[in-house]
Amino acid sequence: MELIKKTNIDFIGMRKFSFLASGIMAIIGILGIIAIARGTANMGIDFSGGTSMQIKFAQPANSQAVRDALGKAGIKEVELQEVTGGNQILIKMHKSTGKSADAVSDALKAGIPGNSFTVESSTEIGPSIGEKLKQDTLVAVALSMLGIIIYIAWRFDFKFGVGAVVATMHDVLAMIAVFYVLHREVNILFITAVLTIAGYSLTDTVVVFDRIRENMHKSLKDPMLIIFNRSINETLSRTIITSVTTFLAAVSLFLFGGEVIHDFAFALVVGVVVATYSSIFVASPIVAVWEKKAVEVEAA
């Protein structure tokens, strides 16, 4: 299936604008990483430590009634999310509240006596475990980036490897930037979404790189920038179809997946958009400019 035929868009010619936009996004993402490292971002209990409980009531109960019941017991700094359908509420408390799951249960029994409930799930994470999870996550992201550059360098060459890693890092920073600006919670599900998008972005980039390599062998005399532009245009239809179908699946998760995976689905929606952008406007232009300069140096 070919959605768009015979386009001739000068993607490489737009590189100054795309590099500027990506640079701004990357700077915000780096600020977000600094905030995460300092613990000043909106950290989930996975990283900061705390308690997460999913409560199912026998009768409908809104978050305000739960908040009032907890407040009477001195549990004030809580995050509540009503789970659509099933009279369920998700309760999150950071470790700084000093309250446990048992204290929450006792508070709800006393504050909402006419509405019995069951604890569907309960998770308690200590601050030391949260810190270790944060360190392990950073190591996992760093190793995945190293693996990408080794794989691409082996399959293509070093310049393509660097281009793929820069594009993947761009996607990671862009997702962090959006979450940082919108003050959305950074938790394990967000990191899962980041690594998922990193793999998706790499696949998209490799498809374009494959076509570039083919065209470089076919058209030895054509200028590098023309070869790269032609390759991106030839794979544009495939890129759009893949991105749109993946985007629709992510949007469906976001709209109908429920509160528990809401942030995860939102991260996927953002990730698919930035990954599609980077495979066209970041990865290939970086390699094109690098290859062009290498050819000019050889010719001089």
β-bridge pairing 117-125 and 50-57 = antiparallel
236: its two tokens: 């544009």
* CB contact set of 221 (below 8 Å; sequence gap of 6+): none
> Average pLDDT of the chain?
83
Confidence of residue 300 (pLDDT cuts 50, 70, 90): low
Tell me the residue length of the chain. Answer: 300
Beta strands in the chain (DSSP E): 50-57, 78-83, 88-94, 117-125
Q: Report pLDDT for 72.
A: 83
Query: pLDDT tens digits, residue range 57-97?
Result: 888 777 788 888 888 888 777 888 777 666 788 888 876 66
Contact 61, 112 (CB under 8 A): yes
**Contact in structure between 3 and 273 (CB atoms under 8 Å):** no
DSSP state of 281: I
Unique residue bearing structure tokens 């995945």: 144
8, 242 Cβ separation under 8 angstroms: no
Indicate the pLDDT class of residue 266, thresholds 50, 70 and 90.
Answer: very high
If residue 121 lies in a helix (H) or strand (E), which one and from where to where? strand 117-125
pLDDT at position 1: 59
Tens of pLDDT along 133-169? 777 777 877 787 788 777 777 777 778 888 888 888 8
Token reading at 208: 């374009």
